[in-house]
Structure 1
Amino acid sequence: MSEWKAKRFWKETSVAEAQDGWQVLLDGRPVRTPLKAPMILPTREMAEAVAIEWDAQEGVIDPLSMPVTRSANAAIDKVSVQHSEVAAMLSAYAETDLLCHRAEAPRELAEQQNKGWNPVLDWAEKTYNAPLIVVTGILPADQPAESLGIYARTVAGYRPFSLTALHDLISLSGSLVLGLYVANGKMDPDDAWHLSRIDEDWQISQWGEDEEATEMAETKRAAFRHAANFLRLAQGS
């Protein structure tokens, strides 16, 4: 028996203001999440982006072609009901932040890390008054408890849609600080992704590319870019 797949059933896609936000209408009926919650979106910009995805569907609905819709579903069905757990998980990245772990050798790699990562850590220290300790090798440092607390409160202050985007910016890069850097509009997401890949790019320069690893990295890069765009839509800018 073949699996049933949802097909396009509507003719007109539109956007309308709703209580506490915006919604997308299919022939006048509001879109709902997979858990049947009303899809109330924080900005008109996000609602229009979701509407474009729905309007582009022809025949069988393909969720993989609807990244903004999928992230909005995650924000409503998952992040909004587990906000404190998600925030705690993300803030824990500060304890072993990628940017705090430097290579002892070779010297060229260490220099690339210092050049790329030090300005981001300096920005975070000045912005949040929350310095982090840089170490060499794989063993983590005991980061200052006050700094960890500041970062925890900062992440917890993100609303569900923005926190959904921040989740991917942090988890994909391995760095809380770099995620916040992008979230604050301090760096283009492509440039930030390159910073998160200094170690991997060094290995490639020495040993050559692995086709499967390269394909996986490209998928993650696209997800990182989407997260930055979703955050922009959530903030209405």
Structure 2
Amino acid sequence: GPKAISRFYETAAASEHGGLWRILLDGKPMKTPKGTFLELPTEPLAQAVAQEWAAQGEKLKPKEMPLTTLGCTAVDLIRPDQGGCVDRMLPYLTMDTLCFQDDNEELAELQRREWGPLRTWFEGHFGVQLGVAAGLGVPAHGEGALAAVESSLAGGRDEWELSAMEVATHTAKSVVVAVALLDRPDTSAKDAFRWALLEEHFQIERWGLVEGEHDVSHIETLMWLEACRRFGRIGR
């Protein structure tokens, strides 16, 4: 893998600059991989990013810096092409994890109970109808649903929200979960994690956890969902 970078700074702090917030490493403003100053929209977000740098040991572990990653992604990749970001998310809504129903009646009942209220919330949030597919079908969303979600996301979101939303969408395989993570007041990262992996949790409860198999990927999934939630909410 890539060679570990040794920690090259003593202090990490957030500093206001022209209405935005920079991360100072030993007093020098940090840049993104593409060479732009990382300038964050709010003080709480900048403090949280600075905290990631302050918490590092002798070797830097980028995997433990998800907020920094989301910030750099927002500046380098999403700001130049917000429409492209929304375009990448839409296929996940076409085949949204939360728009399928299992053939197993017990699991289907759990899906209705857990996912139903969230789908209803999403429908009200965007003024759309979502379809639900059984078996190998494709969900038949209401006419104009994709276009309505697309124009809402493309028109009403900044690069910070979109950065968090795209990673959450990719992580949960669900636009419904990603939007709830950012917009629905009482949705926690644990909720999102449960919804995204409902079938897996159902199987684990029946058959038990295969030691080591799920643990690592689950810890990482939860970490990213938590980071997306924090980033999206404190970046406002």
How far residue 20 of structure 1 moved from its aligned partner, in angstroms, is 4.7
1:74-223 paired onto structure 2 within 5 Å = 74-105=73-104, 107-156=105-154, 157-184=156-183, 185-210=185-210, 211-223=212-224
Q: Which runs of 5+ in 1 are unaligned?
A: none
How far residue 153 of structure 1 moved from its aligned partner, in angstroms, is 1.5
How far residue 131 of structure 1 moved from its aligned partner, in angstroms, is 0.8
* 1:59-86 Cα shifts (integer Å, max 9, x gaps): 4433333222222111111222232111
Question: Is the contact between residue 12 and residue 27 of structure 1 (CA under 8 Å) also seen in structure 2?
Answer: yes
Distance between the aligned counterparts of 2:61 and 2:201, measured in 1?
33
Question: Is the contact between residue 97 and residue 175 of structure 1 (CA under 8 Å) also seen in structure 2?
Answer: yes
Partner of 2:231: 230
Tell me whether 129-138 or 55-64 shows the greater mean CA deviation: 55-64
* 1:173-216 Cα shifts (integer Å, max 9, x gaps): 12111211121124112012112221111222333322313321
Partner AA of 2:228 in structure 1: A
**Identical residues among aligned pairs (%):** 25
- 1:212 aligns to what SS in structure 2? coil
- 1:35 aligns to what SS in structure 2? coil
Distance between the aligned counterparts of 1:212 and 1:41, measured in 2?
37
Tell me whether 217-226 or 40-49 shows the greater mean CA deviation: 217-226
* 1:105-161 Cα shifts (integer Å, max 9, x gaps): 2x2111100001110111122222101111211220332341111111222232111
Q: Extract structure 1 runs of 4+ deviating beyond 4 A.
A: none
- Taking structure 2 as the reference length, the TM-score comes to 0.89
* 1:29-60 Cα shifts (integer Å, max 9, x gaps): 21111221111111111111122222334544
How far residue 3 of structure 1 moved from its aligned partner, in angstroms, is 5.1
Question: Is the contact between residue 8 and residue 58 of structure 1 (CA under 8 Å) also seen in structure 2?
Answer: no
Partner AA of 2:51 in structure 1: I
Distance between the aligned counterparts of 2:11 and 2:222, measured in 1?
33
- Judged with a 3 Å threshold, the aligned counterparts in structure 2 of structure 1 residues 151 and 32 are, in CA distance, closer, same or farther, namely same
Q: Which runs of 5+ in 2 are unaligned?
A: none
- Judged with a 3 Å threshold, the aligned counterparts in structure 2 of structure 1 residues 63 and 143 are, in CA distance, closer, same or farther, namely same
Partner AA of 2:84 in structure 1: E
Partner of 1:39: 38
Tell me whether 14-23 or 168-177 shows the greater mean CA deviation: 14-23
1:60-71 paired onto structure 2 within 5 Å = 60-71=59-70
Structure index of larger Rg: 1
* 1:11-38 Cα shifts (integer Å, max 9, x gaps): 4433322235111223332111122111
